[in-house]
Structures are given as C-alpha cells and as structure tokens.
Amino acid sequence: MKKKIRVRASSFGTLFDCAHRFEGEQLLKLYRASSLRAWLGTSIHASTAAFDQARIEGKAITANDAADVFVSSFWNPSEEVDFKDAKLTRQQAELIGLKLHAKYCAEIAPAMHYESVEMALRPLEIDCGGDLTIVLTGTMDRARVARMASGKVISDVKTGGRLIDQEGIVTTKGRAAQLGTYQLLSEHTDGEETSGGQIIALQTTTAAPVGVSKVFDAKRVMVGDENQEGLISMAAKIFKIGLFTPNPMSQLCDKKYCARWGTCAYKG
C-alpha cells in the first residue's frame, strides 16, 4: 500500500531548516498559537489581497478602502494569537501594518500586472519509488500570479523583519522551496509554464521599507538538473528513512517559532 505524505508549499523549507520541527508541526500536528508579528503579516496579506483582487475585477477601490480589511483582521483574529511581544505593542504593530499597506498600494501594486490572487491549486502527487508518494499542496493566499515579459511569474508577498538589506536589495535566500512548490503547483493546475518566482518584501520594522526582488527560477531547486539533486528527491529520502534530525543552530529554534520547543531535547 502506497504511503502518501502531504507537504504544504509554505512548510517545505522547514524540512531542510529543522526536520525535527517539520515532523512535529506537519506530521504530528503539534499546535502553536500565532504570534503578534505573524498575525500582523496575515492582516497585511488580507488587505493587500483585497486591494489587488478589486483591481483585477475592475472595481473602484482606494488604499484607504482596503485598509479597513487590515484593521478588521488585525483586531478581530480568526484564530488563537499570542499578542505578547517584548519589543512591540499591538498599537505599534497596527501603525507599521497601515504604513506597509499604504506603501504597497502606492508603490508596488501599480507596477504589477496581476492575473490572480489566492489562486486555487490542484494537489500534485509525485511518485518517489517504493511505497512512497509525496503530495504537494498549497493555496497561494500570499502569492499572486503576475504577467511579465518573460511569462507567468509567482509573486509571493513576504512580511518580516529581515527581508531587505542595507543596500535596499530584497533577499531571496531560503525562499526557493516555497516558491518552487508554488511554481510546480501552478503549472500542474493550469498547464502553463512559469518563468520564475519573485519576492515582494514588506518589512515589519519601524521604517517599514518595501521592495521587490529579481525574478529567479525557484522550480529548478525543487526538481534539480543533471548536475544537482532536487529538494523533492532529497525530501523523499528523509521520509523513506524516517530520520527527522534537529537543528539547534536554526534561527527559528525558539519557543516563539517552534511548536515542538517544550518537549525538544535538542534545543540550544
């Protein structure tokens, strides 16, 4: 009997950062409440998506109109959120979110040619040999499909504190697994090849800088080539062996980020 392991696009990178955390959260379904900063990001995604969807449909909308979506989401969470944060109050987070929303609507959205927001994706089953099948799943609730001269590009909105360097360059490091999965799922869904992925960075620091990365081929990292093995093949080996090694050196090895923290014997 075939063993099927479902892997969400947003969690694929976690497997290679800390497989022990991945196993706990994705396979054992250990629960962790969202943090203030995570919920700030969720609310920003909701308001920018509302703005972009209205423009796609040709509806009149202003940044202020869509900002109401941010405020409603931020102050009325639909899931459990731990709003305690030693460095940020909820009121400060709201101001940062509103600033980022306004900058996105004024500086980024007008330059993008979106075709869809929150594109529904068909699960993709990958036969890894033996009795194992990996099922890639995902909803691009934070990503949008943009049309560029090179073709269809998956543009993923990211929020966080370390997205843009001192030179104003948006980093793509560590983003290939999720975006590559989105590329594969998008192609599987509509049959159209993607030309790459792109990060839209909304940095949740006081200055609230925004930026857009270069377009890069994230799918290649997933499937590999004649010279290098892809992450899907590597993941299959991990799942077949069942060895989910810990990484106490991970930047996310903290009780704020890992649902397995309380019982983990390997944390720093």
> Residues 71-105: pLDDT tens digits?
999 999 999 998 888 789 999 999 999 999 999 99
> Residues 230-252: pLDDT tens digits?
999 999 999 988 899 999 999 88
Can you name the residues that pair with 196 across neighbouring β-strands? 153
Tokens of 9: 């696009």
Q: What integer is the mean pLDDT of 117-136?
A: 87
Select from 115, 103, 112, 105 the least CA-distant residue to 164. 103
DSSP string over 4-23: EEEEEGGGHHHHHH-HHHHI
> Residues 2-45: pLDDT tens digits?
788 888 888 888 999 999 999 999 999 998 888 999 999 999 99
pLDDT of residue 137: 86
pLDDT of residue 84: 87
- How far apart are alpha carbons 27 and 21 in whole angstroms? 10
Banded model confidence at residue 1, pLDDT cuts 50, 70, 90? low
- How far apart are alpha carbons 236 and 77 in whole angstroms? 36
Q: What integer is the mean pLDDT of 184-201?
A: 93
pLDDT of residue 18: 95
Q: What integer is the mean pLDDT of 38-66?
A: 95
